[in-house]
Structure 1
Amino acid sequence: MDDSAKKGLVKRIQVRQIKQTMEKAVAGSKNQDKSYGEAVIEYLRDTGQIICISGDSSFIDLLRELVCARLKMPTGCLTVSSNADMLLHTVRRLVSDQKKPLLIVEQNLGNRDMTYLLRQLKNGFPELWIIIVSHEANKQRFVLLHESGVDNCIVKPVGAQALLEKIALTTKPHGKLDRMLAWARALLDQGEHLRALQVCQEALELKANSAAALLLIGDIFRAMRQYDKAGEAYENASRTSSIYLEPLRKLAELHEETGNVVKRLACLERLDELSPLNVDRKLAIGELYLKLNRLDKAKKIFDQAMQLSDREAKEYVSGVAFRVADVYMDTDPQTAAAFLQRGLEGKKAFWGVEDLVIFNRLGILLRRAGKWREAADEYRKALQVAPNDEKLHYNLGMAYLEGKDFESARASMLKALALNPDLPRRSAPVAVNLATVFMRTGDNMHALPLLRQALEQEPDNGTAREMLEQISQAD
């Protein structure tokens, strides 16, 4: 038997094995798919490893409870750290040990944006699965994260079942359609193009206009050098979702491969509209503008790329300042406050809701140091970003109270209550603080119900009782 015949036989055996695996999977799921829990257990038993990088103890406890208590998996399946510095070494070691790592990481860890590091990790280890954890659902940021290689996103707060589902759907094809597409990809890798197309058509019968199936069809036609059909499949896939970027990226690659500068530029421009934070793509667009002698547009897009780069650089420097502040937080609060101020000032042009926690920490440090005016200044800066944040108005009111500017404190507390009437129910001390401000301005009508709410939550609150007695004596 010559070499070509041997290769053909090996390929047919491999395809037959793939088919048998697929048939078993489909038969096993005839009545219903495996539960998410069973899917995660299977992943972890099959050399899976979850790496969690987070400084949020409650989230870590939730993950540990899920993996070790609920799923009854050994603690060795889970690696937890609040430090990302050794992440590259950890992933490299696990991959070399034939592990299948899943990384669950905070988007901002110790005030450090993890996007750049995650992009490096995904480029170096394409087999790595990544789930990002964030406090906000910022569409543009999530799109950029997806482009950086993030497979899934979790927005806090998250429950155990939602976390379980995210892990299961990230690490394992879940459902008949996903398994069929996995089979088709395996056939494509083996060069069985026509059989792969047939499986994709069967997948489309299960779910008409499946973007994943259409995208894979495009990949198959592209491998067959049938570029027109590949482009048509990618276009159809892009129509299924206005924010699904992969088909447009594939189209751009296809047009680059065929040398069609105009069509490649059109795809990149569409991508830039959907995900405007990608510096590398703006540079590629600028280069194409220059090739087409569209000089004004080239300069404009290059300026945008520079602005984004400037923003990334300033955010990085600010992140370093915030991390230094963390180091000083317990031993030298005054120095910690100075670094927080430097970090915030450094990214002043790019303040966002993610910075509110920094403003609040800084305000608290300044108030503890008796610098209530400086604290009030920081809260007012934060209100430029989030004018309807009741916590900021409340903290501003507390700064005014500590500075004995009672009328300004009253105005801030009224604004906080207008934004969230349930604010006093957060805790008895909050209700007492609100009541204190109103009593200081002679507004017992507002103070009285607040003190009653404080005692409902904490019947032994002596401060609330004393203040109630003062009001009753005044009456």
Structure 2
Amino acid sequence: MKNAEEHDAAGYYFKTWGESMRAKTMYDKIFAYYIEKMNGSVLVISNDNYLFRISRNYIKVSGLPDSCYHCAKMSINTFKAIGRFLAHHDHVTVLMERQLEGRLSLDDIMPLKNKFRERIKVIVLSAEVDGNTIALMYEKGADNVIIKPVSQAIIIQKIVSTLTPDNKLDALIEGCKTALQMKDAQGAESYVDKILEQRPDSTIGLMLKGDVRMLQNDNEKAKYFYTKAAVSSKFYMEPLKRLVTLYNALDDLDRKIVYLKRLDKMSPLNRERKIELANSFLSLGDNEQAYTYFEQAISLAKREANEILSKTYMDISQSLLPVDYERSLEFNNKAIKAKGKYLSKDDVWMFNEKGINLRKHQRNAEAIECFNRALRISPEDPRVNYNLGVAYAEEQEVKKAAACFDIALQYDKSIMQNSVSVAYNIGLTYYNARRFDDAYELFEAAAAIDPDNPNVAEMLQNTFKKTSRYLPE
């Protein structure tokens, strides 16, 4: 393979997907403000050495103090680690793997947030998952979600987008929650009235008003405010959960089931809710419906077990990759097989990893087969189409490569805007396929990224003479 400086119309040099993300200085400044002015900190809980490396390097390059950042293996006591951080910092943002030591960590989030309250934000790290799984993460208390693999820039953007300003409304909400915890209904009502005075349609304000009425044993008014909160934000589940709790206390199982079903529709992967629904139907004597939800709970448990096994195989595969490629490939295959019937679009990344590594080991025919298998699951995936195009280009099958790049660009135009190498080499593919107008557009994109690149300038000039725009003198 030629170096980037040695490109010609027959040679290719492809960077991996997303390799050349540009820094977002606005996010850098906000993150620095969080660390330096708000006395914030970051705790990463993971076994991902790559994640450790890029995040630690960001802190170092940015000139931020080492004390604001800590990487920890999954086996640490999370509560103690956060407590130690908060002894020296006012805030901590925790980046925590969805799976810790072979178990799902989502059930740890709410206890952490209940203990440390407004001083903690939790961002869940996960390999690619479907929308229902992401909904479950948020329901379990995640403030944000990061899908891996990830770049430095994305990590900082996610942290910044998770942070909220320390304003008066936040203080009122926190004051109300504290008063409710102390069973001080009068004090809580004073806070919540001020919240609703500022924002009459505030979902959290209406929900807290319902909490105050519950504390005062005024169930009808609590029901009114919880229902109003649910209407004001159709995608926020907490008011619906309050209504479930209320109707359970009132022993109104029919109404409880109505809201449990609404929650189940919004977040269908919550295994505990399936069992709660089943138990509610059992109490009503509807065993058939109960068995349906019990079966769904069992199915979710099997899915979680397969997911953990698959992730474990992929972790082993990635650990072995630098030292034993064949064994790494073996565990990658086991990871795919472990998903069984639960294999979906969200698992395409495993095929992508396998295909990239096959290509790197000059096993292009197998890589092409692997990418094509991934496309049978997710035909529009731009990453897989891009990487399949790379494999075809290296086999000099330029028409097939160009067709793959067409699909990749159709679904993600940014690939020709973020990397000069990617834009340049897709341009070469189009050029060799004699699609000169398309090639010229890609070379223009490459020139916009790197105006001084001589190879780009040369191809831009040569290609222009072959385009429909060119009018010879």
Report the CA distance shift for 1:58/1:38 in structure 2 as closer, same or farther (over 3 A). Answer: closer
Residues 32-68 of structure 1 deviation map (CA, whole Å, 9 limit, x = unaligned):
xxx9977765753xxx6531246434455456677x6
Report the CA distance shift for 1:364/1:182 in structure 2 as closer, same or farther (over 3 A). Answer: closer
Alignment of 1:107-146 (within 5 A): 116-120=104-108, 122-123=110-111, 126-128=114-116, 129-132=120-123, 139-146=131-138
Contact in 2 for aligned 1:289/1:298 (Cα 8 Å): yes
Residues 258-313 of structure 1 deviation map (CA, whole Å, 9 limit, x = unaligned):
32222222221111111111010011101111221223322222222222222211
Report the CA distance shift for 1:237/1:96 in structure 2 as closer, same or farther (over 3 A). Answer: same
Using the alignment, how far apart are the partners of 1:346 and 1:166 within structure 2?
Answer: 34
Give 2:247's aligned residue.
255
Using the alignment, how far apart are the partners of 1:124 and 1:451 within structure 2?
Answer: 49
Alignment of 1:32-51 (within 5 A): 44=39, 49-51=41-43
Paired letter, 2:69: L
Contact in 2 for aligned 1:424/1:453 (Cα 8 Å): no
1:106: Cα distance to partner? Answer: 5.5
Using the alignment, how far apart are the partners of 1:419 and 1:36 within structure 2?
Answer: 31
Contact in 1 for aligned 2:42/2:95 (Cα 8 Å): no
1:328: Cα distance to partner? Answer: 0.6
Using the alignment, how far apart are the partners of 1:376 and 1:277 within structure 2?
Answer: 34
Paired letter, 1:51: L
Report the CA distance shift for 1:409/1:211 in structure 2 as closer, same or farther (over 3 A). Answer: closer
TM-score, length-scaled by structure 2:
0.73
Using the alignment, how far apart are the partners of 2:424 and 2:389 within structure 1?
Answer: 13
Contact in 2 for aligned 1:140/1:275 (Cα 8 Å): yes
Paired letter, 1:132: I
Give 1:244's aligned residue.
236
Residues 397-417 of structure 1 deviation map (CA, whole Å, 9 limit, x = unaligned):
333344565654454345445
Paired letter, 1:205: E
Give 2:297's aligned residue.
305
Using the alignment, how far apart are the partners of 2:82 and 2:114 within structure 1?
Answer: 13
Using the alignment, how far apart are the partners of 1:370 and 1:420 within structure 2?
Answer: 27
Greater radius of gyration (CA): 1
Give 1:368's aligned residue.
360
Q: Does 1:271 align with 2:263?
A: yes
Paired letter, 1:185: K
Q: Does 1:315 align with 2:307?
A: yes
Alignment of 1:129-208 (within 5 A): 129-132=120-123, 139-153=131-145, 158=154, 163-164=159-160, 166-169=162-165, 174-208=166-200
Q: Does 1:359 align with 2:351?
A: yes
Paired letter, 2:70: T
Q: Does 1:284 align with 2:276?
A: yes
Q: Which has the higher contact order (CA 8 A, sep 6+)?
A: 2
Give 2:404's aligned residue.
412
Paired letter, 1:78: Y
Report the CA distance shift for 1:459/1:195 in structure 2 as closer, same or farther (over 3 A). Answer: closer
Residues 337-393 of structure 1 deviation map (CA, whole Å, 9 limit, x = unaligned):
221122122225334554343322211221233332321122112223432234322
1:145: Cα distance to partner? Answer: 1.3
Residues 304-334 of structure 1 deviation map (CA, whole Å, 9 limit, x = unaligned):
2222222211111110001001111101122
Give 1:350's aligned residue.
342
| Counterpart pick for 1:91 among 73, 79, 83 | 79
TM-score, length-scaled by structure 1:
0.73
Paired letter, 1:104: V
Gaps of 5+ in 2: 1-29, 467-473
Report the CA distance shift for 1:295/1:52 in structure 2 as closer, same or farther (over 3 A). Answer: same
Q: Does 1:102 align with 2:102?
A: no
| Counterpart pick for 1:393 among 382, 385, 404 | 385
Paired letter, 2:95: V
| Counterpart pick for 2:320 among 323, 328, 348 | 328
Query: Root-mean-square deviation (CA), in Å?
Result: 4.1
Aligned residues: 418
Paired letter, 1:297: Q
Matched position secondary structure for 2:123: strand
Gaps of 5+ in 1: 1-34
Paired letter, 1:344: I
Give 1:79's aligned residue.
70
Contact in 2 for aligned 1:52/1:105 (Cα 8 Å): yes
1:177: Cα distance to partner? Answer: 2.4
Contact in 2 for aligned 1:134/1:153 (Cα 8 Å): yes
Contact in 2 for aligned 1:424/1:431 (Cα 8 Å): yes
Paired letter, 1:75: D
Give 2:25's aligned residue.
none
Matched position secondary structure for 1:330: coil
Using the alignment, how far apart are the partners of 2:84 and 2:159 within structure 1?
Answer: 27
Report the CA distance shift for 1:356/1:113 in structure 2 as closer, same or farther (over 3 A). Answer: farther
1:163: Cα distance to partner? Answer: 3.5
Using the alignment, how far apart are the partners of 1:152 and 1:397 within structure 2?
Answer: 33
Paired letter, 1:116: L
Using the alignment, how far apart are the partners of 1:346 and 1:92 within structure 2?
Answer: 35
Report the CA distance shift for 1:189/1:440 in structure 2 as closer, same or farther (over 3 A). Answer: closer
Alignment of 1:15-54 (within 5 A): 44=39, 49-53=41-45
Matched position secondary structure for 1:347: helix
Contact in 1 for aligned 2:416/2:442 (Cα 8 Å): no
Paired letter, 2:220: D
1:236: Cα distance to partner? Answer: 1.5
Give 2:220's aligned residue.
228
Alignment of 1:389-468 (within 5 A): 389-403=381-395, 408-416=400-408, 423=415, 427=419, 429-430=421-422, 433-434=425-426, 443=434, 445=436, 449=440, 456=447, 457=450, 459=453, 461=455
Using the alignment, how far apart are the partners of 2:60 and 2:45 within structure 1?
Answer: 13
Contact in 1 for aligned 2:103/2:308 (Cα 8 Å): no
